[in-house]
Structure 1
Amino acid sequence: MTRTTELGLAAGLVRLANLVNRVFADVAREHGITPQQAQLLCKLIQGPVGMAELGRKLDLEKSSLTGLVDRAERRGLVRRVRDRRDRRACLIELTDDGTRIAFETHQVVCDELEKAAVEVPVADQERMTDVIARIAPDAPEQG
């Protein structure tokens, strides 16, 4: 039995999740934000997002998301803007500082995760990407 099969799928996935979480935590700390704020900023790179959609993307309950957005807003990273399609709703968008930090953290997280896999042959990386997409096709995005 190889070391990989001895580890087991579940344990391997947990180890991989821990690696991703550790990278997010390290990169966030370097930028003076929390890992949750880093994930929030990365979700907003593509443009403003409504609270309900943002909650789904981050897999957070409404009260937890509200607190996260409130703290990021106080730090000057995001702002609430009116949704032109629904005046009762607001969208969350990045500020200039939030945009800068979002792009920096996203790039560094991606770079660090790529470095972690540098010894893995490209064919195995491609297979791994395919397997992950099949295991978690609708999972909330993480980065």
Structure 2
Amino acid sequence: MTDSTETGFADAVVRLAHLVDHVFDEVSRRHDLTAAQTQLLCVLVGGPIGMTDLRRALKLEKSSLTGLVDRVERRSLVTRVRDPRDRRAYQIALTEEGTRLAVLTHRDVAAGLDALAAGLPAAELTLATSILTRITDDAAVGTAGLPQPAS
């Protein structure tokens, strides 16, 4: 195991991202889903979401999201419902079967991710949670220093 002082922050985050991807892949396989479908279901656990907000949450291009939603809709896991605030727009909502599967996959992903940190002392886990929450919250509001594409 590599000493954390020998590894830079970016390297550690990349390694963590691979572990998180692995958890999503394993959970997805167990439930006959792709990792992208599992992520979609996990996002929708909180309730119906419009396509624009869903695209932002999943960091997908419009065409990729449309294809993903179409595939999950064909499996009767989600449905398009009229947005109550804008009759021209739709939100994506879980069906009854989608809700059941979303709750299961969300629980399994959370358990897998919690297992990654199971050996940490409580104080370190609290600190890690605080740091990761700050990073993700900052990225969500656009204050993180995300690299911009080259011109």
Asked if these proteins are the same fold (TM beyond 0.5), I'd say yes
Q: Residues of 1 paired with 2:139 and 2:94: CA distance?
A: 23
Alignment of 1:16-31 (within 5 A): 16-31=16-31
- Further displaced range: 76-85 or 21-30: 76-85
* RMSD over equivalenced CA pairs, Å: 1.3
- Unaligned 5+ segments in structure 1 are none
Report Cα offsets for 1:9-68 as digits up to 9, x if no partner.
Answer: 111000111111110010011000100000101111111111011111111111111000
The aligned counterpart of 1:70 is 70
The letter for the 1-side match of 2:90 is C
Alignment of 1:1-143 (within 5 A): 3-139=3-139
Q: Residues of 2 paired with 1:24 and 1:75: CA distance?
A: 19
Q: Residues of 1 paired with 2:9 and 2:61: CA distance?
A: 29
Which protein, 1 or 2, shows the higher relative CO under an 8 Å CA cutoff with sep ≥ 6?
1
Shift in Å at residue 83 of structure 1? 1.4
> SS state of the match for residue 56, structure 2?
helix
Q: Residues of 2 paired with 1:86 and 1:119: CA distance?
A: 48
The letter for the 2-side match of 1:47 is G
- Unaligned 5+ segments in structure 2 are 141-151
Please identify runs of 4+ aligned residues in structure 1 that moved more than 2 A.
Answer: 133-136
Give the TM-score taking structure 2 as reference length: 0.88
Q: Residues of 2 paired with 1:138 and 1:47: CA distance?
A: 23
The letter for the 2-side match of 1:12 is A
Q: Residues of 2 paired with 1:139 and 1:18: CA distance?
A: 19
> How many residues are paired up?
139
- Further displaced range: 126-135 or 66-75: 126-135
Give the TM-score taking structure 1 as reference length: 0.92
